[in-house]
Amino acid sequence: MLNAEQRAIIKATVPLLESGGEALTTHFYKMMLNEHPEVRPLFNQAHQASGDQPRALANGVLMYARHIDQLDQLGGLVGQIINKHVALQILPEHYPIVGSCLLRAIEEVLGKDIATPEVIDAWGAAYGQLADILIGAEESLYQQKAQALGGWRGTREFRLVRREVESCEIVSFYFAPVDGQPVLKAEPGQYIGLQLFVDGQEQRRNYSLSALCDGVQYRISVKREPGGKVSNYLHDALKVGDTLQLFPPAGDFTLAAGDKPLVLISGGVGITPTLAMLEAALKTTRPVHFIHCARNGAVHAFGDWVDELAARHPQLKRFYCYAEDDGSQHADALGVLNQELLAEWLPRERDVQVYFLGPKGFMAAIKRHLKAIGVPPGQSRYEFFGPAAALV
């Protein structure tokens, strides 16, 4: 438990972290991954190279330090972290590794004149407090998933039973358990964790479930990323009949029940979790506005499927925006999804529930547009596929 003096030290170091937090976390990751190769599968190396992971950690550390007296003010951040950890199977034995490397990084980056023994002790106590919170919450979630119908803990072997090309960039993969038993039903919007080996090295990734779970199998739809080690392996090497290990579904970005009109907005591969949400919503009577943005028709996945749903369900209105004119005339608009288009495509009454996903710049723009046209901020939600970041 942190004492008053330690809390005061934590808060006093916030300005130092604000000015140099990313440098500190970059040094931390480099040290930890070099000295502890056993934790490398838990971290996406592409996110390390881009700086997204260090920035996300720096932001999380700052949020924690700023609210050290009122941890309830962290809002949904803790839930997001817990679910990401569970999907990748972060375990209690991983926390001491992270903690020791983080304290060393603080000392080495800030220097011993600033990172005094008292500062290191305070941060050690703060990290211990946070680790206890996360470990306890994650254990509860692990137990819950293991005890649920079709649930399990740790890895479970699944077989690829079907592949489907959805666009020139996206392929869907259908996995069924090798043991033939039921699988845990996922909530619309959740993701699944994969453990696989590429070139002899273990990799772990989270992918959104792109279809409503039927208790029999899971579907993910993966975009081929340039240089992406796992996405290219899945596209090029994983064949029907091959097996790999899956972790139970997780994620708190899920479709909430309600009768307000539902608006689903996606850009690119951000469409994947909205597909399960759309399926679930169409089992009710609530109006749905489905808005998807793509570069062109060649990369637009699931368009025909959504069109078929719209033809069968009068409650569904769908709109497509293409960045490029490919001559297909499938798009309702060309260019970017600006404020005027969004205002036109949303219900006239702005008392709606909105979920949006896509590239960071896209989501930042959507967030601004929704506020400008009068959608209550508390009625829109978004999630990052990779490390979280501020949307400005």
Which helix H or strand E contains 123, and what residues bound it? helix 117-147
Report how far residue 107's alpha carbon sits from residue 98's, in angstroms, rounded to the nearest whole number. 14
Residue type, 112: K
* Through-space distance between the first and last CA atoms of the chain, rounded to whole angstroms: 35
The sheet with strand 201-208 has its strands ordered as 201-208, 191-198, 243-250, 156-165, 170-177, 218-223
The one catalytic residue in 22, 95, 233, 279 is: 95
Report how far residue 78's alpha carbon sits from residue 252's, in angstroms, rounded to the nearest whole number. 10
The one catalytic residue in 127, 138, 207, 320 is: 138
Catalytic site residue 95? yes
Report whether 51 contacts 27 (CB < 8 A).
no
To 10 degrees, what angle do helices 52-66 and 117-147 make?
A: 100
Report how far residue 156's alpha carbon sits from residue 191's, in angstroms, rounded to the nearest whole number. 15
Which helix H or strand E contains 320, and what residues bound it? strand 316-322
**292 beta partners:** 266, 320
Residue 54, token pair as written in the block:
């260090």
Report whether 118 contacts 112 (CB < 8 A).
no
Task: Compute how many other C-beta atoms are within 10 angstroms of the C-beta atom of residue 257.
Answer: 9
Report whether 24 contacts 110 (CB < 8 A).
yes
Catalytic site residue 308? no
Distance from chain centroid for Cα 6: 33
Report how far residue 265's alpha carbon sits from residue 363's, in angstroms, rounded to the nearest whole number. 9
Which positions are annotated as active-site residues? 95, 138
